[in-house]
Amino acid sequence: MIELSPGATLLVVFAAVLMTVMAGMRIGFSLMLIGVISLVVFPSRPLFLPMAETGWNVLNSFVLTAVPLFIFMGHILARGRISEELYGATEKWLSGLPGGLANVNIVSSAIFAALSGSSLATTAGIGSIAIPAMNERGYNPRLTYGSLGAGGTLGILIPPSIPMILYGFIANVSIGSLFLAGVVPGILMALAFMAFITGWTLKSPSIVPALDHAPSWTERLLVLRDAAPALMLVILVLGSIYAGIATPTEAAALGAFGALLITIFKRRFSWRGFKDNLRDTALTMGMIGLIMQGAMMIAWTFHVLQVPNQLTETIAASGLNRYVVLGVIVLLLYVLGCFIDGISILLILTPVLVPVMAAFGFDLVWFGIILVVSIEVSLLTPPVGMNLFILKGIAPDASMEDIIMGALPYVVILTLGIVVLTIWPSLALWLPELAKRN
């Protein structure tokens, strides 16, 4: 047994994960390896039986069944070209605004986020359509890639959100309440992104080409007809959760079935595409499952060593203001996000941070939103900003400097969003509290 202080234990575990990842090991296998080593080395006796139980419990959860179902729904909609119709409808209605297609990117991403629950799917789905169109028309590259990277982050803030499901499962917080809490911050973040784009465009009009054709009302109504089934699916999935008719897992199943019906109705269903969707879902879920297994093993070791309790007692005894503690935690998430993907951070640190936040009197639903916004930042910060690499993959000829520099202003906006939510927590908690009263 190796005896370390809570802080030293956390430091050693994260240092080991970083070393293995930087050596080229995939994050899922890295977490599994460090998880097994932690269960053997740190406790007074090897925890082989809890290791097996942890692995089983992670995958044998009704709540977590929502994750592959939402992933499956996202794949169906992407392969069924639903994202193209959403983008086309948004373009007809909003391309006349200052910023043109850059603002269209934000709104389209927000809508697709409500269908996919994934930042990577949102970035890839909207980016694959927007990048060729914007490059062809001569948009500033930093405006193009920045708006798409930022819009993609809305995929995990606007419900349904896969990280919110994982956080709710680990923290034992209502996922329905988390979904409700993400609505207002998600809309405000989207509006803040659009305000920045509009201001940048008004200051430097040359970054956006002139609109070559003003859509008629007939064209706008026609594209709405095409996008209506997807919009109705959003209302059906989220409405069933908020009305208390369905659990998130049941709503995810309803959404996946509804997505299948849409593709059949639009005559885009094929058995080959269906099999490809199942394969892609299995691959994505397999990756998430490996990360979850390893992270939960590490979290179980922390629990056995009472790291969360000892850390809470140490911080409380220090006499630090609770907002200073929150600031340090957010800064820690930012730094870790430069090297480790957001889901891994969430899975490892949630069991450690939740007792600390509860002891300092923070609402755990509200903290879930703060955690998700912090993870959004990690999607835009190098060297492991996943949205940045998705954009580079879509546009291999793009300059990585343009992609990174285009995304950095939105990191500042997201940080200001955390400050605003800290000053006015009711922005996140208003809808959940309203739902409880009703």
pLDDT digits (tens, 9 = 90+) for 82-96: 777 888 788 888 877
In this predicted model, what pLDDT tens digit does every residue of 62-77 receive, in sequence order? 777 888 888 888 888 8
Two tokens, residue 65? 């069944």
* The pLDDT of residue 421: 95
Two tokens, residue 380? 């835009």
Per-residue pLDDT at 311 exceeds 80: no
Q: Cα–Cα distance between 250 and 139 in angstroms, integer?
A: 42
Per-residue pLDDT at 243 exceeds 80: no
pLDDT grade for 412, boundaries at 50, 70 and 90: very high
Cβ contacts of 37 within 8 Å, gap of 6 or more? 16
Per-residue pLDDT at 346 exceeds 80: yes
The size of the chain, in residues, is 438
* The pLDDT of residue 143: 92
CA 392 from chain centre, in angstroms, equals 19
- HSE at residue 85, side-chain half, CA atoms within 13 A, is 20
Q: Are the beta carbons of 344 and 32 closer than 8 angstroms? A: no
Domain definitions of the chain by residue range? 62-294+306-437
245 backbone dihedrals φ, ψ, rounded to 5°: -80, -35
Q: What percent of the chain has pLDDT over 70?
A: 93
Q: What percent of the chain has pLDDT over 90?
A: 17
pLDDT grade for 50, boundaries at 50, 70 and 90: low
* The pLDDT of residue 377: 87
* The pLDDT of residue 47: 61
* The pLDDT of residue 46: 60
Q: Cα–Cα distance between 5 and 11 in angstroms, integer?
A: 10
* The pLDDT of residue 127: 84
Highest mean pLDDT among 124-138, 252-266, 306-320: 252-266
Which position has the token pair 């941070």? 353
* The pLDDT of residue 45: 62
The secondary structure of 284-304 as a DSSP string is HHHHHHHHHHHHHHHHHHHHH
* The pLDDT of residue 238: 81
Longest dimension (CA), the chain: 73
Per-residue pLDDT at 4 exceeds 70: no
Q: Cα–Cα distance between 382 and 310 in angstroms, integer?
A: 33
**Crossing angle for the helix pair 364-378 and 175-203, nearest 10 degrees?**
40
Higher pLDDT: 420 or 437? It is: 420
pLDDT grade for 425, boundaries at 50, 70 and 90: very high
Count of C-beta atoms within a 10 Å radius of residue 268: 14
* The pLDDT of residue 185: 93
Cβ contacts of 382 within 8 Å, gap of 6 or more? 338, 388, 404
Count of C-beta atoms within a 10 Å radius of residue 175: 23
Q: Cα–Cα distance between 280 and 286 in angstroms, integer?
A: 10
pLDDT grade for 391, boundaries at 50, 70 and 90: confident
* The pLDDT of residue 319: 78
Which position has the token pair 């930087």? 22
Choose the weakest-confidence range: 3-12, 90-99, 423-432.
Answer: 3-12
Q: Cα–Cα distance between 339 and 386 in angstroms, integer?
A: 10
* The pLDDT of residue 98: 84
* The pLDDT of residue 58: 65
In this predicted model, what pLDDT tens digit does every residue of 257-310 receive, in sequence order? 988 998 888 888 888 888 998 998 888 887 777 777 777 777 777 777 777 777
Q: Are the beta carbons of 315 and 356 closer than 8 angstroms? A: yes
Count of C-beta atoms within a 10 Å radius of residue 274: 15
* The pLDDT of residue 289: 78
Instruction: Residue 428: name the closest of 379, 380, 369 by CA.
Output: 369
* The pLDDT of residue 414: 93
Q: Cα–Cα distance between 117 and 128 in angstroms, integer?
A: 18
DSSP state of 47: -
- From residue 283, how far is each of 141, 142, 193, 414 by CA, in Å? 32, 32, 32, 30
Highest mean pLDDT among 135-139, 150-154, 183-187, 234-238: 183-187
Choose the weakest-confidence range: 30-34, 303-307, 364-368, 406-410.
Answer: 303-307
Per-residue pLDDT at 340 exceeds 80: no
The mean of the pLDDT values for the chain is 83
In this predicted model, what pLDDT tens digit does every residue of 354-386 receive, in sequence order? 988 998 889 999 999 999 999 888 888 877 677
Q: Where are the alpha helices (DSSP H) in 174-306?
A: 175-203, 217-242, 248-265, 271-304
* The pLDDT of residue 307: 76
* The pLDDT of residue 227: 80
117 in helix, strand or coil? Answer: coil
Per-residue pLDDT at 6 exceeds 70: no
Q: Cα–Cα distance between 373 and 412 in angstroms, integer?
A: 12
* The pLDDT of residue 363: 94
